[in-house]
């Protein structure tokens, strides 16, 4: 990327978050770029029998961009319902201790505040994040290389409305659930003035989860995540690396258990 998302975000902070659509599209396209990074750019950070975590130096901060991937035994619709901001997330994600929706935008995105538990015997103390979150769907076949067709939908209202935008011709259509074949949940942290002294304010550079059905078994989904979190504070880099890799593998395990119970 010639210009990092962080540099672009500084301009937004100066002008204020007035163009939510532009902000959402920029976030979405940044995640698509991550999804198209060549395989030889990644180095394995942790591997289990059903999840692999890679990492590479981040272009956004002095840390790493992590990639996680594994197969989940459920359809895309159910997987996304558990991942996106909402009450289900707190039921199964062991790391997340609270989640509040602070602001809604145009029925297709929101600002959320959430807190995480301490990790590694509290070497990493509880964190708080305030993120802009945006969920977008893709028709099958467009996820990996073609970003001219976008489908945005509300994850902050029980009445979902989909807006399909064909960038090539500028058309907009409306459609209702069920979700499209492929979906991603994207987020990035914002500078939020209100702070709470019991938490260290962490910062998520562009992060996201891509979920697509397996071609040979649509009842299973391939879930791929891109995470680059600045935990801040005086934490040894080795502790950060251990925590990030373990958090991502645990995420898949907790999600699978929740989906089996659903």
User: DSSP label at 179?
Assistant: P
Which residues, other chains included, contact 58 with Cβ-Cβ below 8 Å and sequence gap of 6+?
64, 65, 205, 228
d(CA 81, CA 84) in angstroms, rounded, equals 6
Structure tokens at 208: 């996201």
pLDDT tens for each residue of the chain, 262 residues long:
444 555 444 444 434 455 777 778 888 889 889 999 999 999 999 999 999 999 999 999 999 999 999 999 999 989 988 998 877 899 999 999 999 988 887 656 788 899 999 988 788 889 999 988 888 776 543 332 222 222 222 222 222 222 323 222 222 323 233 444 666 778 777 766 677 777 889 999 999 999 999 989 989 999 999 999 998 888 888 888 888 999 999 999 999 999 999 8
Delimit the domains of the chain by residue range.
Answer: 5-261
The string of DSSP letters for 148-194 reads: SEEEEE-SSSSS--EEEEETTTTEEEEE-SSP-SEEEEEEEE---S-
CA distance 67 to 49: 16
Rg (CA), the chain: 18
What pTM was computed for the model? 0.77
Instruction: Quote the distance between the C-alpha of residue 250 and its chain's center.
Output: 16
Smallest CA-to-CA distance from 22 within 129, 106, 113, 144 is with 106
CATH class entry, domain 5-261 = alpha beta
Helix H segments across 36-86?
76-83
Question: Do the Cβ atoms of 46 and 249 come closer than 8 Å?
Answer: yes
């Amino acid at each position: 990327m010639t210009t990092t998302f962080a540099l672009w975000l500084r301009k937004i902070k100066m002008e204020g978050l007035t163009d939510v659509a532009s902000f959402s599209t920029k976030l979405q396209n940044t995640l698509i770029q991550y999804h198209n990074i060549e395989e030889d750019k990644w180095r394995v950070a942790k591997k289990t029998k059903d999840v692999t975590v890679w990492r590479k130096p981040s272009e956004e901060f002095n840390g790493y961009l992590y990639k996680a991937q594994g197969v989940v035994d459920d359809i895309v619709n159910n997987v996304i319902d558990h991942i996106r901001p909402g009450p289900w997330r707190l039921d199964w994600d062991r790391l997340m201790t609270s989640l509040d929706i602070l602001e809604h935008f145009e029925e297709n995105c929101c600002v959320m505040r959430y807190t995480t538990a301490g990790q590694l015997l509290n070497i990493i103390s509880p964190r708080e994040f305030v993120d802009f979150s945006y969920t977008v769907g893709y028709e099958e076949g467009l996820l990996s290389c073609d970003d001219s067709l976008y489908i945005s939908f509300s994850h902050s209202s029980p009445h979902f409305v989909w807006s399909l935008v064909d960038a090539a011709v500028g058309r907009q259509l409306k459609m209702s659930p069920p979700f499209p074949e492929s979906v991603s949940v994207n987020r990035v942290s914002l500078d939020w003035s209100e702070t709470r002294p019991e938490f260290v304010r962490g910062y998520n550079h562009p992060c996201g989860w891509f979920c697509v059905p397996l071609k040979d078994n649509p009842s299973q989904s391939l879930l791929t995540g891109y995470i680059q979190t600045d935990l801040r504070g005086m934490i040894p880099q080795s502790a950060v690396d251990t925590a990030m890799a373990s958090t991502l593998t645990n995420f898949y395990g907790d999600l699978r258990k929740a989906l089996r119970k659903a």
